[in-house]
Amino acid sequence: MTTLSPTLELACALIRRPSVTPVDEGCQELMCRRLAALGFAVEPMRIEDVDNFWATHGRSGDGPVLCFAGHTDVVPTGPLQAWQHQPFDALIDEQGMLCGRGAADMKGSLASMIIAVERFVADYPDHRGRIAFLITSDEEGPAHHGTKAVVERLRARGERLDWCIVGEPSSTELVGDVVKNGRRGSLGATLTVRGQQGHVAYPHLAKNPIHLAAGALAELAAEHWDEGNAFFPPTSFQISNLNSGTGATNVIPGELTAVFNFRFSTESTVEGLQQRVSTLLDRHGLDWQIDWALSGLPFLTEPGALLDGVAASIKAVTGRDTRASTSGGTSDGRFIATLGTQVVELGPVNATIHQIDERVLASDLEVLTEIYYQTLVNLLA
C-alpha cells in the first residue's frame, strides 16, 4: 500500500516504537498530542517507572462517561531471526496483513480508538457526556503501577466512569464476533510442604515431602470447586510448577514447592477457596505453608446500555450478531470494574497475540474503527 488510511498510518507509527513493557517509547506522547488537538484535557500520570495518562473531553457532570482503555506496552519479541518481518517495522504484506509486535495486542485498537474519537468529536462537537482515555504502559508486566494505580487516583478524587471499552483483542475469527463482558478472577498460591531430608537408603530416618504431598495435590486437582453459572464456566485449578530435590539422586528432599492457580467464577470467593485448601491440607496431616497472590477478582457486565450499544454497533457495521464471553485470562478491565463501571472488551482477532509474526488483517482495523465510532454515536450523540 502506498497510501495508508488514518487508522493504519497511526497503527504503524505506534508499532514502530519498540515499547516492550514497561517502556512506552513515546507512544503515549503521540496519542496525547492527537487528543489535545481535539480539546481533550490530558493528564500524564507517571507512577514509579510506568507512563500512564488520563484524558477527558466534554463537560463534567453532563451525562455519562465513556472511557476507552488500553496499553501501549507489548511483550518481548522473542528471537528476531524467527520473524518473517522485523517486529517493529510495521509493514503490510501481500496478504493485506499488518505485521508487527502489538498489531493485535493492542496498538491496532489504540489507533482505531483515536481515529474514531477524532471523527466523532468533529461530527458531534457538543456531544453529551464525556469521552475519556485511560492508557498505561504496564499491562503486560506486573501491572502494579499502571491501570490499577490510576484507578485508585480516580477513585480518590471521585471520578465517575459509567462505561469502558477495553481494546483487548477479543475477536476469534471475525472482528466483533466475540466481545468480553467479564473475566474470571485469578488467585495464585505458592505452597511449601516440609518433610525431613535424609538418605534414600534410610527412609525411616526421613520424611519425603513428595510422597506426603502427592495425595493432597491429587485431591486438589480432582476437587469440584463450583458449578459456574450462566456467565462463567466452573472454577478451575491448575498446578503450574512443582519443585523439590537437592540435585542428588540419593537424597530425600526436605521440602516440596507447588505453584498453583485458581481461575474462579462469581460462584466462589477468595476466602472460600483459601479455606477449602487449608482444610484439605490439614486433613492430610501436612506441615505446610502457603503464600497467596490475588491478581484480580471476577467481574461481569450484564446486558445493559454498554453491551447493547456495542452489540448494535457490531450488527450495524458487520451485519452479524456478537457473542458475549468471559473466557480467557485477566485484563485491566478487572481494575476498572471496581469503580462500578460497565466494562466490555472489544478488539481485533486474537489468533497471533504474543506470538512470533504477530499480525492482524489491515482491513479489520478499519472495521474496528467504524464499530468504535458507531458505539460513540449510539451512546453519546
Q: What is the pLDDT of residue 123?
A: 97
Q: State the sign of the Cα–Cα–Cα–Cα dihedral 201, 207, 210, 216.
A: positive
| Three-state DSSP class for residue 241 | strand
Catalytic position from the list 139, 140, 345, 370: 139
3 has pLDDT over 90: no
Q: What is the pLDDT of residue 26?
A: 97
For the residues 219-234, what does the mean pLDDT come to? 95
328 has pLDDT over 90: no
227 included as an active-site residue: no
Tell me the β-bridge partners of 97: 361
Cα 1 to Cα 96, 109, 151, 162, 362, distances in angstroms: 9, 20, 40, 39, 11
pLDDT tens digits, 42-78: 999 999 999 999 999 998 777 899 999 999 999 999 9
| Among 306, 70, 284, residue whose Cα is nearest residue 167 | 70
Q: What is the pLDDT of residue 381?
A: 94
1 has pLDDT over 60: no
Mean pLDDT over all residues of the chain? 96
351 has pLDDT over 80: yes
DSSP single-letter state for residue 235 = P
Q: State the pLDDT confidence band at 2, using cuts at 50, 70 and 90.
A: low
Q: CB-based contacts of 70: which residues, under 8 Å, 6+ apart?
A: 106, 109, 110, 113, 135, 136, 139, 166, 167, 168
Tell me the β-bridge partners of 50: 47
For the residues 171-184, what does the mean pLDDT come to? 96
Tell me the β-bridge partners of 132: 56, 67
Q: What is the pLDDT of residue 345?
A: 97
C-alpha cell at 253: 528432599
Catalytic position from the list 24, 25, 51, 73: 73
15 has pLDDT over 80: yes
139 included as an active-site residue: yes
**Spatial separation of the C-alpha atoms in residues 356 and 274, rounded to whole Å:** 38
For the residues 147-163, what does the mean pLDDT come to? 96
| R_g of the chain, CA atoms, integer Å | 24
